[in-house]
Amino acid sequence: MKRLPVISPSYQYIEQSFKEWLAALGYSWQSVYYMPIQVRGLLHYLESQGKMEIADITAASIKQYYYEELKQRKNHMRGVGALSSEHLNKHLQALRKFTEYLRQTGKLQIAELNIPQEAIIDEKPTVLSEEEIKQLYHATTLVHERNKHAKGAEVYEALQYRDRAMLSIFYGCGLRRNEGYHLNTGDINLDSGVVHVVKGKGYKERFVPVSSKGIKHITEYMYDARPVLLKDDKQEAFFISYNGKRLSGQMLMLCLQSLAKRTDSTELMEKEIGLHTLRHSIATHLLAHGMRLEKIRDFLGHSSLESTQIYTHLVTETYEQV
């Protein structure tokens, strides 16, 4: 959705103005970044129907977009099925906030959206088994003709090292998606074996220990592979793409999805896997191996023990199935 074109000058203006409005009101950087991107989907949809002016944005047209476009869209993570209820609710939140912006700034007298929230039937997070985690790590060592990079074998190998480091950060350290995205090389102390999470949830920072195997993967990527991908010595981002730029959270997730497909495990590929899946998995595995809940709370950066207690249920369910 980030790359969807919007060619109408009126729509380009309204998207930028909406972003500035959110920032001026003090919304989180996540809302300021993602909500305009989600609204861009609506604007692109309207353009595809020949509606190019701000006056064409109506409650009816937004409702049509939601039910005929968003609710029919395939789940890009699986390639099949519809968007999850949680994902649809995030889009709905952005659309509601957008109509509020239009009313409050006097751009349009638009009616409030009469679209109900999607019901969240099952909030239980996906957890991978320890064997499935091993399969993901093994997938970073596989070389298939279809996976070779157009830039050559050296770049492809560097991306393999990066993917191992990605697993070591998001699974081994249990980082959230945005925490990993903002990670810089200076945030990792290889000598002491810790990752400094500077931009944690709620602006809280913490230090996360790294296992010896994780240190090995991170060191190999940092010193052997990252320089191959680097285009600018001033680039501080830890995770970078083949063109040397900071890897977005979306692209990190797609890299993980690619690894899952590379395992050729039907069961693994059928699971809805994201970066947070790795975080849920490490917490479940640590608890199953006897780590105290309070330690896991600190490891994950939870503000209360209540948030961590979900893993006691996941351990029971996951290991009862084995």
Beta bridge partners of 209: 194
For residue 91, which of 60, 55, 117 has the smallest C-alpha distance?
117
Helix spans in the chain (H) = 9-24, 29-48, 59-68, 85-104, 130-139, 153-170, 177-181, 212-220, 226-229, 249-262, 266-270, 275-288, 293-300, 305-308, 310-320
Catalytic-residue membership of 176: yes
Catalytic-residue membership of 319: no
Catalytic-residue membership of 311: yes
Catalytically annotated residue among 19, 40, 91, 279? 279
Amino acid at 153: A
Catalytically annotated residue among 96, 199, 216, 276? 276
Q: How far is CA 242 from CA 155, 169, 224, 228, 246, in A?
A: 7, 19, 14, 8, 10
Catalytic-residue membership of 279: yes
Catalytically annotated residue among 176, 182, 262, 297? 176
Q: Exposed (0-12), middle (13-18) or buried (19+): which is 320, by Cβ within 10 Å? A: exposed
**What is the spatial distance between Cα 248 and Cα 233, in angstroms, rounded to a whole number?**
19
Amino acid at 229: L
User: What are the residues whose beta carbons fall under 8 Å from the beta carbon of 142, sequence distance 6 or more?
Assistant: 262
Catalytic-residue membership of 276: yes
Encoded tokens for 287: 């608890």
Catalytically annotated residue among 201, 206, 245, 271? 201
- 105 close to 17: Cβ distance less than 8 angstroms: yes
Encoded tokens for 78: 């699986």
Please list the active-site residues.
176, 201, 276, 279, 302, 311
